[in-house]
Structure formats: C-alpha cells, structure tokens
Amino acid sequence: MRVGDLCAGRSGDKGDMLDLTLVARDAAAYRTIERALTEDVVQRALNRTVPGEVRRYAVPGLLALKFVAPTALPGGVHASLHAGLHWQKAAIWLLLDLDVEASP
Amino acid sequence: MTPVCRIGAGAGFAGDRVDPAVALAASGQIDAIALECLAERTLIAALRARDTQPDGGADPRLRRRLSPLIPVAADRGCRIISNLGAANPAAAARQAASLAGELGRSGLRVAALLGDDVAHLTDRTEWEQPIDGRLLGAHAYLGADGMAAALAEGADIVLAGRVADSALFAAPALAAGEPDRARRAGALTVGHLLECTGQLTGGNFEPPGGGGLDAAALAGLGFPFAHVMADGSAELAVLEDAPGRVDPMTCTLQLLYEVHDPGRYITPDGVLDFTDISFEPIGRNRVRMTGAHLVGRPDRLKVIAFVEQRGIIADVEIGYAGTFALHRAQLAADTLRLRLRDWAEADLTIDMVGVNSILGAASAAMNAAPPELRVHVSARCEDAAAAQIVEDEVYALTLSGPAGGAGIRSERRPRIATISGLIPRDLVPWSLVWETAR
C-alpha cells in the first residue's frame, strides 16, 4: 500500500534539519505505518536524496509519526543548490510514495 | 465556556495574503490579530536597508498590509500584533502611527518592542558553528512578555522585530490577568497552531489518497482563529463564510510542523509537551483542543546570525521541447558536466526541472517522456567572474550544444549562512517605545 493512501503528510525545516510528519487516516493505518516505517526504513528512503541519520517520534494519541533528520540540509535552505528555494516542502513525498505492507 | 481571548491569524510569512486578515478583523469575532511577516530572507533584506539609511529596516510591505487592516481593526476594537518591525521596530512604529493618522485614526497607540538585536553580544552567545564570514546581524528570539505588557498597557498596535512566531499569536491571551500554567500552555500551543495561517485551514494539505480543496476554495482560503479558554483548552475555526478545512487531521499536521521532539517543543516562553493533546471536532470546521502541557522554561534564548560568505551562487536554466526533449536535455547536462569539470562536485548541481530537480535520485521512474523540460545548474562560485563562466557555458549550448536549447534564465544570489546559537536570557532585556497617531 502507498503510504500516501494511508496518511496525510507535511515536511519543513529548521536550520540544517529536515522535519517530516505523517498523520494516519485511522487506527489501522497508524498500526501499519507504525510497524513499517522504522528509523532504518525511513533513513534509507531519505538518504536517496539527503544525507544523515533519522530520528523517529511516535504520537499514538494523534495517530502521528514524526521523522527528524538533523543534518539533511547542510547550511540551511539558503545555501542549497536545489532548483528554487524551499524545496523541502516537497520532501514529504519521499515518504508518501513509499510502499508498505498492511498490518493485521 | 467564555474565552479569555479570541485571536486571529493574519499572516504566516512576509508575502502572505492580505485579504483574509482584513476579513477576520472585519468579522467582529476576534479581539486581536497577529501577523507573522519575518522570514530569514526578509530580515536579511531589512538589515541591508538599515545599513544604508537609519530609518530603514522596517518591513517594506508594512503600508500595503496595514492600510486596509488598521481601519477595520480600529472600528472593531481588534488589536494588531506583528513582527513587521523587522530590523527596525522603532521606525516601523513611527510609520504605523503616521499611517493610522492618515487613515483618520488619530489617538491610536503603537508600541515597538526592542531588544532582539544581539549583534553586539556575539562573544556571549554559544554558537553551533563558528561565525565564518561577514556578520550581517544577530537576533535573539524574544518571547511574548514584552508584547503582552504592551497590550496590557493599552497598545492598539504592537510591532516587534525577531520574536518567536508562536509568541506573536500567544501574546494577547497572556496579556489578560495573571495566566496560570494551564492557560500559558494553551496560549502558546494555539500560537504555534496559528502561526502558519492557511496551513491550519486546508492549505499545503492533501488528504490521504489525494483530492482536497478545489482552486476556488484555495483562492479564497480563510485564515484560522482561536478561542483560548481559561483552563488552557481552545477552539480552532475558520470564518463560517470562508472556504477551508479545519479538522483533527489539519490540526495535527500543523501542531507537529517543524517542532522536532513533540514531547519537548522549545519556545522562549516555555517548553511544551504536545503528546497528550487531542483534537475533537465540535462543528463544521471547528475543533476543540485539550491536553497541552508546559514542562519547563528555557534559561537561554535561541539566536540566529546571518553571515555573508565569500562568493556567489549562480542559478542558470535552459529549456528543451519536442520529441526527444529528454534525450537533448540529458545531452546538455552531460555536456555541461564536461565543460565545468573544474568545479568541485560539492559546489555544482546539474539536474533536470521536470525530472529530478526536487527529489533527486528518489524521483519516481517516468512512464512517459516529458514534452518539455529544463536543465538546471546551481554552482557555488568564488566570485562574479566565476559565476559568469557558469552562465556563459549554459548560453554556449545554444550554439554548440544539443539542438533547440531555449528559454534561458539566470540569477545570482549571495552566499548567506544562518548560524544558530544560544544566549542567556538575562542578557537580553526587552523594552517598549511608544508612538501615538496624530
């Protein structure tokens, strides 16, 4: 299943840090992403585009997972050689377009 | 329950829409409206303006933004709080007072909050990285205290420079009476929820599976407002006649936006724990928030310094269209890599807008060749002469590169690094200066 069919998401930044949030549409979808999207899985997905480690925070009461990559944006968005500023708002599709297996 | 304060979100960045703020102020449904207008780029431009003229450095959009807002806000008793002061809040207050006078609102009181400029305290700040280059400015993120004091003393308009975004929106709820811990937690959390305006009401939002608001709704998107209650709970909504979507999902995405650890969101006014929060729909586009907790108060404030580094970044693009456009663009990119092989790999990006310029190697495989696309080059350059070389190499493709290179654009931007640091709170006192519209 595509993560983007189970969740809404949003990404942002603070300094060098890339910050991504997923909110599941219901409890079953949350169980699926909570099991499938480990720090390792997400780090591998992000590392296709940006460097560094990933930390995960779970907020089960809000059916939400947060992923923070503290060194993904070296020098911040103004130092980026990306086409156009604030490209990090599109980085959430690195997670929304992942395929995961549904949890029972 | 009667709200302690009703706060509207009037702007979430320097260029945000003006009309939703005017609609909120005109509705009579809010006591105060806060406008966040000071991004990093805006402050850099303001610092440059202040360098060239002593009265410069306020937000250049101040007049455009406040002209339609001041009359409706004054008529409804709605106070205005903003960081439109940018690099010169005192000058902004003079401009706003003079504008209010022109608009026939003499007697309006404008307060400027000073104290965020800490460029003289760089040696008392603990920096994450060394300051390497020319210091353009350094500002501490002030909390809500000064703005709340100005409101309590009767300010109709409060203009600050660098303050925490959430503090702008929390200040009105902290100005009334003696807020206890629960109300502080609620006010600060609401501040964070409101600070990005449309992101709480269905902007920058795609529901699971796609879809969402249509173009007419996005074009008319309402900005949010909140009722902060004495017990620290709150209600979040959008005006009834404004398009938008306020539900637990949009609220959760904004609550967790850019907060790093949801159990310890650090603001100058307090450290917040969001992990117990719940959002409950209580009507169409109306949500009740409970469960915000305050778990501490930082003894140091965050500082951001802007440092201009040697060199320039050159951004150049060239377009290709028609059958085999992808092949020709790839050929152009490969040609440029050969021509610019003297550039260090870390200082050069060559990709294709329409293929992989945003997500890089993670871009999904294409099912069909694009009918047109652009080759994009960004290069860190020692100086203007080096930037010229990069630009010329792209232009040279029109004669010596793949067929049909077209639609070239280029720009240069300075290399400005933002460096974060922490400064002891007691080194950063705030003060107010007052102006009255005549």
Per-residue pLDDT band for B323 (boundaries 50, 70, 90) equals confident
Angle CA(B230)–CA(B232)–CA(B237) in degrees, nearest 5? Answer: 95
pLDDT tens, position by position, A32-71:
999 999 999 999 999 999 999 999 999 999 999 999 999 9
- How many angstroms separate the CA atoms of B436 and B438, rounded? 6
* For A60, nearest residue in chain B (alpha carbons): B275
Task: State yes or no: pLDDT of B53 exceeds 80.
Answer: yes
pLDDT tens, position by position, B242-273:
999 999 999 999 999 999 999 999 999 999 99
Per-residue pLDDT band for B80 (boundaries 50, 70, 90) equals very high
Rounded to the nearest integer, the mean pLDDT of chain B is 95
| pLDDT score for A102 | 84
pLDDT tens, position by position, A77-87:
777 787 777 78
Residues of B in contact with A81 (CB under 8 A): 313, 347-349, 378-380
- Domains in chain B: how many in total? 2
Least CB–CB distance from B204: residue in A13, A85, A89: A89
Beta bridge partners of B10: none
Per-residue pLDDT band for B418 (boundaries 50, 70, 90) equals confident
Residue B108 included in any domain: yes
Residues of A in contact with B278 (CB under 8 A): 61-62
Q: Which of B176-180, B236-240, B282-286 has the lowest mean pLDDT?
A: B176-180
CA distances from B431 to A47, B145, B179 (A): 46, 10, 21
| pLDDT score for B30 | 97
Residue B363 included in any domain: yes
CB contact under 8 Å between A79 and B357, yes or no, is no
Least CB–CB distance from A79: residue in B209, B362, B417: B417
Interface test with chain A among B136, B192, B247, B252, by most A beta carbons within 10 Å: B252
B376 part of contact set with chain A, CB < 8 Å: yes
Q: B78 and B155 share a domain?
A: yes
Q: B63 and B199 share a domain?
A: yes
Q: B77 and B151 share a domain?
A: yes
Residues of B in contact with A15 (CB under 8 A): 128, 418, 420
Least CB–CB distance from B361: residue in A14, A49, A89: A49
Domain that holds residue B413: 305-420
Maximum distance among all Cα pairs of chain B, rounded to whole angstroms: 73
| pLDDT score for B397 | 93
Angle CA(A37)–CA(A39)–CA(A43) in degrees, nearest 5? Answer: 100
| pLDDT score for A87 | 83
pTM score of the predicted model = 0.93
pLDDT tens, position by position, B333-356:
999 999 999 999 989 999 999 898
Domain boundaries, chain A: 3-75
Q: Which of residues 8-27 of B touch A (CB under 8 A)?
A: none
Mean pLDDT throughout A8-19?
93
Q: B75 and B15 share a domain?
A: yes
pLDDT tens, position by position, B81-90:
999 999 999 9
Mean pLDDT throughout B369-396?
93
| pLDDT score for B226 | 98
Residue B51 included in any domain: yes
Residue B161 included in any domain: yes
Beta bridge partners of B417: B307
B225 part of contact set with chain A, CB < 8 Å: no
Q: B189 and B223 share a domain?
A: yes
Amino acid in position B57: G
Count of A-B CB contacts under 8 Å: 128
Tell me the shortest Cα–Cα distance from A62 to chain B, in angstroms: 7
**Contact by Cβ (8 Å): B334, B328:** no
Residue B123 included in any domain: no
Residues of B in contact with A79 (CB under 8 A): 415-417
Least CB–CB distance from A8: residue in B206, B276, B358: B206
Helix (H, G, I), strand (E, B) or coil at B344: coil
Q: B257 and B333 share a domain?
A: no
Q: B181 and B287 share a domain?
A: yes
Beta bridge partners of B409: B317
- How many angstroms separate the CA atoms of B187 and B169, rounded? 8
pLDDT tens, position by position, B96-154:
999 999 999 999 999 999 999 999 999 999 999 898 889 999 999 999 999 999 999 99
Q: Which of residues 30-59 of B touch A (CB under 8 A)?
A: 40-41
Q: B253 and B347 share a domain?
A: no
Interface test with chain A among B302, B351, B359, B374, by most A beta carbons within 10 Å: B359
Residue B135 included in any domain: no
Mean pLDDT throughout B401-428?
92
Residue B137 included in any domain: no
Residue B64 included in any domain: yes
B279 part of contact set with chain A, CB < 8 Å: yes
B344 part of contact set with chain A, CB < 8 Å: no
CB contact under 8 Å between A49 and B205, yes or no, is no
CB contact under 8 Å between B416 and A78, yes or no, is yes
E strand residue ranges, B268-330: 270-273, 278-283, 286-290, 293-296, 300-321
- How many angstroms separate the CA atoms of B311 and B383, rounded? 5
Q: B104 and B201 share a domain?
A: yes
% helix, strand, coil for chain B, step of 5: 35, 30, 35
Tell me the shortest Cα–Cα distance from B350 to chain A, in angstroms: 9
| pLDDT score for A104 | 72
**Contact by Cβ (8 Å): B418, B135:** no
Q: B160 and B269 share a domain?
A: yes
| pLDDT score for B50 | 93
Task: State yes or no: pLDDT of A15 exceeds 90.
Answer: no
Q: B228 and B260 share a domain?
A: yes
CATH code, domain carrying B393: 3.30.70.100
**Contact by Cβ (8 Å): A104, A45:** no
CB contact under 8 Å between B260 and A97, yes or no, is no
Residues of B in contact with A98 (CB under 8 A): none
Q: B187 and B98 share a domain?
A: yes
